[in-house]
A and B are shown apart, each in its own frame.
Chain A
Amino acid sequence: MQKVWAFVQGCFLLLRKGSKLYYAWVFSLLVLIAIGVVAYANQLYNGLIVTAMRDQVSWGFYISNFTFTVGVAAAAILLVIPAYVYDWEPIKEIAILGELVAVSAMVVCLLFVTVDIGRPDRFWHLIPKIGILNFPQSLLAWDVVVLNTYLVLNFGIASYMLYSYYYRREPNMKYVFPLLMFSIPAAISIHTVTAFLYNGLAARPFWNASILAPRFLASAFCSGPAGMILMFQVVRKWTNIEIKDKAIFKIAELIAYAMFINLFLLGAEIFKEYYSDTVHLAPVKYLYQGLGGHSDLVSFIWTATIFNLTAFFLFLIPQTRENYVTLNIGCVLMFIGVFIEKGMGLVIPGFVPDVLGDFYEYSPTGTEILVSIGIWATGLLVFTLLLRIAVPIMNGDFHVGEDGVKPHIGDQLFFVRKRVAVEDEDLYSP
């Protein structure tokens, strides 16, 4: 227990150390968070009327973001599987970063749900025993269970591994391996349950298609890893950690397969709706063509479609996949493409036209955008702080000192431009 405490203390000591760039980055995130908090306080004070949601469209930008980030979190298994099931070394070295992405994405998810509910003061009604969790009837109750399990699981695995490395010993795989294996179905379950959340509603034909959960998973395995590829390059360039090209290109290859399945499933759904041409076509028509003079989402969904298709080909062709310029373009296109498709493109058409045929066109208000920026910034801050601890541990700059108690901090800067500069920093370590 004492050792855990010493580790935690060491971590806090480490978090305070960093280059000017690190401080500037953390500070700017804090500013964004503060803006989000003010916007949220305004929403709490006035009610959800400050959002553009209304009875017709009762879920909006918050739940769209939630849906998207669940996918990002689930994508961590795209690193866990090759690393631990297939023992592929280049990815094994960075699998832990995938778990940290999952942890941060889960924090973002849970925050988005929190800001969406009308009575956050009653969140405790969801806690079993103290309140009532309507399990197993309500899919939202399932979501509460699996999201929290997945968060705890990833946080647990990552912190145990880092803790072991900090004390310079190999983690006991007897404990970690079963948990890692369990995190694979857990990742699939978080996105499946989130899909079922929509899927189970017969009132909303747009969501009531059995293909929805597979589509969710396929798109998640595009957007999450695309974000990770970009993030790995930033981390590799600005911090003292090695990430091999091979690992990045392998992830890109996996994305290509996932995007193929995603596009295929989308095509299957479009075919079914248009060819059968029933009353259920309305939401799809509203999304892709506009309906009854309402067409707010049309330009968005076509942007997403073109982005996804372009990115798919960039990832499919080995020459463009292994060229950092085209690879990065592909990643950005895919991240935005899936963000639109799985976010607003999925949630809003479920509500338009509404169940009685009313058209209410939704687009987020300033409050919704500011609160969302605040939440994304919180996620980035959590991720930055986790990296601040993980990176020096992984490259050996942060470990327990010679005396077995005091931490040795070899990396005083964290965010640096060149690797050479860091070698001298050892002089300043305590």
Chain B
Amino acid sequence: MSDREEHDEHVFRLTRRKALKGLALGIGTMVLPAKDASASVWDSFFQKNFRELSRPERQKILARLEKEYSATYKKSVRVKDTPSPEGVLFGYGLDLSRCVGCRRCVYGCVTENNQSRDPQVHWIKVLRLSKERGVDLEHSEQYYNPATVPQEGYFYMPVQCQQCENPPCTKVCPVQATWKETDGIVVVDYNWCIGCRYCMAACPYGARHFNWKAPGLPAGEMNPETHYLGNRPRPVGVVEKCTFCMQRTREPDGKYPACVEVCPVGARKFGNLLDPTSEIRNVIENKRVFILKEDLNTQPKFYYFYSV
């Protein structure tokens, strides 16, 4: 055997050994957290941050996810990546004089956005506040349970992601798994989040939620119209949040978010802040408006107002 051949063989052996070692290590680290995964585990493991992907790479990933979800939920699931529409900045209005605290928005949101039913994950929290104290969060109650609402002496304040213009949550993320899109929506790449929960500590509105265990989403109740950055099924161990139903609102036909649609008293308004004729602009210009925790300079695009 010539030196050259011997050298080649040596190199081969080394690389094979390295490859096997890498394989063993890789499997070792992955088997436990992803016990139910299929062969696409590898693709998903090596997937880049969503913002770094090229068009064809994105398409491949969406196709993979659609296949995976369709198999899991036994129905044809669509995963879109509709980008942020041009000339749009979404804004939200909530009429505190109308809200009766029925919490239909909470469950409308759960159904639309494929939140976990067991354990329950709610992106909207409705606070019951006493009229005497006003907006005093420390004396708020989230777990009120009367026979009928509204109750005498109380008013209700739903809180969800405020889609801050200056979001503290995206700033703190150590891996840029969360960011603000040009239409103002703060999103999470569920395939990039490492689950450190720093964003949850940073959020002044309790709008971020962690998957403490694998989300319990019954196949029958799964909404198959999904967005990659929005309501697609989430894995265990990552953070999720409200995206103003981007799977609906970003589409050309521009549907309202589920919570707006489901509100029985019309307390919820939604629209494009850049459009002077929009409903939300009308609210801001003509009603008494306030934003939550304005002293923190988060500049929410979620406006509370009083219509009467």
Contacts and interface: CB of A to CB of B under 8 A. Distances in A.
A399 B214 CA distance: 54
Contact of B171 (A51, A59, A138, A279): A138
Interface in B166-200: 168, 171-177, 192-198, 200
Interface stretch (B75-83, B134-142, B244-252): B134-142
Contacts of B139: 357
Contact of A48 (B35, B212, B297): B212
A44 B194 CA distance: 13
B210 A117 contact: no
Interface string A293-306: 00000000000000
B172 A140 contact: yes
A346 to B, nearest CB: 13
Given A49-B119, A118-B197, A122-B194, A54 B171 contact: no
A120 B29 contact: yes
A201 B236 CA distance: 26
A203 B237 contact: no
A41 B296 CA distance: 40
From B175, B198, B202, B208, residue with most partner A Cβ within 10 Å = B175
Contacts of A113: 196
A9 B130 CA distance: 72
Interface in A110-145: 113, 116-123, 125-126, 131-134, 137-141, 144
Given A58-B200, A355-B205, A125 B175 contact: yes
B203 A126 contact: no
A318 B49 CA distance: 59
Contacts of A56: 206
A126 B171 contact: no
Contact of B49 (A132, A137, A201): A132
Interface in A38-76: 41, 44-49, 51, 53-56, 58-59
A356 B137 contact: yes
A350 interface: yes
10 contacts: A46-B213, A51-B212, A122-B194, A125-B49, A126-B175, A141-B174, A202-B296, A203-B203, A356-B140, A357-B140
Interface of B: 29-30, 32-35, 45, 49, 52, 119, 125, 127, 136-140, 142, 159, 168, 171-177, 192-198, 200-206, 208-214, 235-239, 296-297
Interface of A: 41, 44-49, 51, 53-56, 58-59, 113, 116-123, 125-126, 131-134, 137-141, 144, 197-198, 200-204, 279, 282, 350-351, 353-358
